[in-house]
Structure 1
Amino acid sequence: MRDLAAEVENIAADAGRFAIKLWDTDFRRWEKSPGNPVCAVDLEVDGMLRYRLSELLPDAGWLSEETIDNAARLDAERIWVVDPIDGTRDYLRGRPGWAVSVALVDKGRPVIGVLDAPARNEVWTAQAGAGAFRNGERLRVTERTELAGARVPADQLPKVDHDLVTVAKPNSIALRIAMVAAGEADLLATIRWGNEWDIAAAVLLAEEAGASVSDAFGRPLAFNTPDAQAFGVLTTSPGIHTAAVARLADRAKEAIGKR
């Protein structure tokens, strides 16, 4: 597994180098749907990753933001879960808050995770049972036990969360989860339907750094599900997870009822 993880890291690094080389060039960009941007680099990186990762494990299934989903992946024991550029908005705006996100999921659980963030000079890696690292330095979550004062990567917070503290937010949800793993934030929460490719690698990073991770209701996350979605993600220091679930409960119930 260690050798496989190293190969995945190398492939993600090649993808990151390719993406940053094209970062300030005149590439094509459009919206897949209103408010959902994509660019030609997303697709090129996706194709590169699919070719390289499929060569590495020919039996593995494939799930990516930029590839039409195929139900055949549900029969695969192992599956690559990929977001070629997580944080496309920051990529398009020339901001550094984006990363190449690659995870290998085995029987519904991430076992290898890599975030390659070349614009930030960061490589985040995790392997099930072997810890999480940024640029080779082991990560560990904070030991916070009080929800009040918890740091949250966000532009702003609702008034009801006035007792929390905002910290700088990259556009990439994976990098925001990784901030909790690194002890740079104490809590990351979403209360909407989200896609597995956005979070698979980062969830492993957070768990291996000692974070508590669940959906918005405090339930375990699963991967390679039929719709490839989960309702929210909640990543926290272990000592505040129960309180965070309780804080979000009413909002989560209201939000899920609107789908």
Structure 2
Amino acid sequence: MLTTADLTPILREAGALAMAQWPGVGQTVESWEKGPGDRVSEADLAVDAFLKQRLGALAPDAGWLSEETVDDTARAERRRCWVVDPIDGTRDFLRGRAGWCVSVALVEDGEPVLAGLEAPARDEVWIAAKGEGAFRNGERLRCSDCAELVGARVPIHDLPKSERDLTKVFQPNSIALRLAMVAAGEADMVLTMRWGAEWDLAAAVLLAREAGAISTAATGEPYRFNKPDPRIFGTLTTTPALHGPALERWGGRARDIAEDTAHPSQ
């Protein structure tokens, strides 16, 4: 059975590999658009190749799902699968900002059981194992006890006028780090209502849950990872008391958006 001790040194090496190419320390890294508004860099590919080799050796029976690897859907037939985003928050990475991380999760039977985020520009390593808690730099994490939507802290750049009963806090580009803020009690809720992919959230969902938070799709549906189609519709990650009220307030809108945009061609 793999443990956080098995995963942590690999995460640290992956973070060091990314840092060696980070513009924030004066490096120059080549990047290009792989789709409209979706950039990738040499660092993403280097970290992806490193992780695929090292994690593959750690669990040879596990499938592989990564943002930067062409997907082989046969992985969904395996009980275990690594779900990886080599650099989550590429926009911040390329701009020399610290809001990015390496995100790794091991999924078993559709659920993340081992997870880590390595955020070297912030000197942080986040780690969790199912049933064993979540930790940042060795310190156990616990989500806040916020029970009221009014004043709840949300990592976001700007709040729409209709949502200004919430409290805006700093938003890193990495969605995984935003969920980690809920785990650490630095935010009370993260809500996104758009299609993403399993690699965006698999690791951070386990971190949040192990810190006592509730994390589902934006529609309230439970997550299941390592599906043949790895798309997922957003996230609603909150303190325990906020999830029901938040779903009541935004769940209908999330379901409407999900239905209207369900097909990739749209």
Equivalent in the alignment of 1:18: 17
Matching of residue 93 in structure 1 with residue 95 in structure 2: yes
Equivalent in the alignment of 1:47: 49
Equivalent in the alignment of 2:196: 194
CA distance in 1, matches of 2:80, 2:4: 14
**What is the aligned counterpart of 2:155 among 153, 156, 160?**
153
CA distance in 2, matches of 1:242, 1:149: 16
CA distance in 1, matches of 2:46, 2:254: 36
Equivalent in the alignment of 1:215: 217
Equivalent in the alignment of 1:120: 122
Task: State the shift of 1:251 in Å.
Answer: 2.1
Task: State the shift of 1:193 in Å.
Answer: 1.0
Secondary structure of 1:247's counterpart equals helix
**What is the aligned counterpart of 2:144 among 128, 142, 145?**
142
Q: How does 1:148-187 map to 2 (within 5 A)?
A: 148-187=150-189
Task: State the shift of 1:217 in Å.
Answer: 1.5
**Most deviating of 169-178 and 19-28:** 19-28
1:14-66 CA distances to partner (integer Å, 9 max, x unpaired)?
A: 00011001112222100111111110110010000000000111110000000
Question: Tell me, which stretches of 5 or more residues in structure 1 are unaligned?
Answer: none
CA distance in 1, matches of 2:78, 2:167: 42
2:21 maps to a residue whose letter is L
Task: State the shift of 1:4 in Å.
Answer: 3.3
TM-score, scaled relative to structure 2: 0.95
Q: CA RMSD in A?
A: 0.9
The 4+ residue runs of structure 1 with deviation greater than 3 A are none
Task: State the shift of 1:105 in Å.
Answer: 0.3
2:17 maps to a residue whose letter is F
Aligned pair count?
A: 258
Secondary structure of 1:10's counterpart equals helix
Matching of residue 70 in structure 1 with residue 33 in structure 2: no
CA distance in 1, matches of 2:259, 2:222: 20
Equivalent in the alignment of 1:203: 205
Question: Tell me, which stretches of 5 or more residues in structure 2 are unaligned?
Answer: 262-266
CA distance in 2, matches of 1:224, 1:29: 28
CA distance in 1, matches of 2:192, 2:65: 21
CA distance in 2, matches of 1:258, 1:38: 28
Equivalent in the alignment of 1:37: 39
Identity %: 57
CA change 1:159–1:15 in 2 (3 A) is same
CA distance in 2, matches of 1:36, 1:70: 21
CA distance in 2, matches of 1:229, 1:112: 20
Counterpart contact for 2:116–2:127, Cα < 8 Å: yes
CA distance in 2, matches of 1:253, 1:158: 19
Equivalent in the alignment of 2:264: none
1:15 maps to a residue whose letter is A
